[in-house]
């Protein structure tokens, strides 16, 4: 396993339409089929899952946090490259 990062939005990031002067565009592209209330539920579940994981695993670390999002990091194990080529043949 390699490093894993979880990006949890505290409030949806706004996407800015091309040529728009501000980020007034809807933060949910229509093609995703996500409505704001449903997305809020998914974000809430993601936060709960990470909280439950953290209670039994000591490797979840917050890497970044601001008013809009928190980024968590789970470090992958330190693994030496395999040098036994006979086992792969």
Global confidence as pTM: 0.58
pLDDT in tens, 3-45: 899 988 887 666 555 555 544 444 555 555 566 667 777 778 8
pLDDT value of position 24: 42
Contact 40, 28 (CB under 8 A): no
Contact 83, 76 (CB under 8 A): no
Distance of CA 55 to the CA centre of its chain: 18
Cα gap 89→87, rounded to integer Å: 6
pLDDT in tens, 75-85: 887 666 666 65
């Amino acid at each position: 396993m390699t490093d894993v990062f979880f990006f949890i939005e505290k409030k949806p990031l706004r996407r800015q339409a091309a040529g728009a002067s501000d980020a007034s565009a809807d933060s949910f592209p229509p093609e995703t089929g996500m409505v704001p209330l449903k997305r809020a539920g998914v974000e809430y579940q993601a936060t709960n899952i990470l909280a439950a994981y953290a209670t039994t695993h000591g490797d979840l670390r917050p890497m970044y946090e601001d008013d809009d999002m928190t980024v968590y990091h789970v470090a992958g194990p330190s693994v030496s490259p395999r040098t036994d080529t006979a086992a792969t043949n």
